[in-house]
A and B are shown apart, each in its own frame.
Chain A
Amino acid sequence: SFELTQPPSVSVSPGQTASITCSGDKLGDKYACWYQQKPGQSPVLVIYQDTKRPSGIPERFSGSNSGNTSTLTISGTQAMDEADYFCQAWDITTYVVFGGGTRLTVL
């Protein structure tokens, strides 16, 4: 079955760039999207179709997807960006698949 793998945690200093990866077999041939989830809240879509930002999502959030890896990049990371991030893709056999999530810590 199709699976997505994320690092459990990523740390970044305020103002620096954070990169969170999501790996899956030939993920670059699929569309990836990313969700941000803060404690006690529902997930929020921050990137869809690999690179697009929904209305209201700051420009510092960007995405890429190539080969086996999708990457969520947060430029000029702020304390408010500290959250769990989940990638998601679609596979013809398992339908919707989520990565295990990455806890972003802004130190």
Chain B
Amino acid sequence: QLQLQESGPGLVKPSETLSLSCTVSGGSISGSSYYWGWIRQPPGKGLQYIGSIFYSGSTYYNPFLKSRVTISVDTSKNQFSLKLTSVTAADTAVYYCARSTAMVNPRFDYWGQGNLVIVSS
């Protein structure tokens, strides 16, 4: 059974960089046809797509966040990571990593349990 697990700090100061990792177990990131994505959910609000990466390193970012987002992959660790720069209180959210079946017309069929990140001094 595929499992995804987010990890990273739960508190980040304003203007600093938010960094999270997602470790995949029960399957390999490498050589598969899947994309690996990040989605966030502010408390009490809806889901917002952040971006996705293919094992080869190809990335797609939400245009509204693109200037601040970097997603990378480490196939040797079966992990992919998110960096979000210059954070503000508006970036406070539960951050989910998830597997998507494709980049065009994707569906997210496996999700991590989520990592709450609070932006506060």
Where the two chains meet, the residues of A that have a C-beta atom closer than 8 Å to any C-beta of B are 1, 30-31, 33, 35, 42-45, 48-49, 54, 86, 88, 90, 93-101
Contact = CB atoms under 8 A, between A and B. Distances in A.
Contact of B62 (A33, A35, A95): A95
A95 B60 contact: yes
Given A95-B49, A99-B46, A42 B112 contact: yes
Contacts, number: 59
A100 B113 contact: no
Interface centre among B52, B62, B106, B107 (most CB of A within 10 A): B107
Contacts of A43: 47, 96, 108, 111
Contacts of A99: 46
B46 A49 contact: no
Contact of A98 (B46, B104, B109, B112): B46
Contacts of B48: 98
Nearest to A92: B104
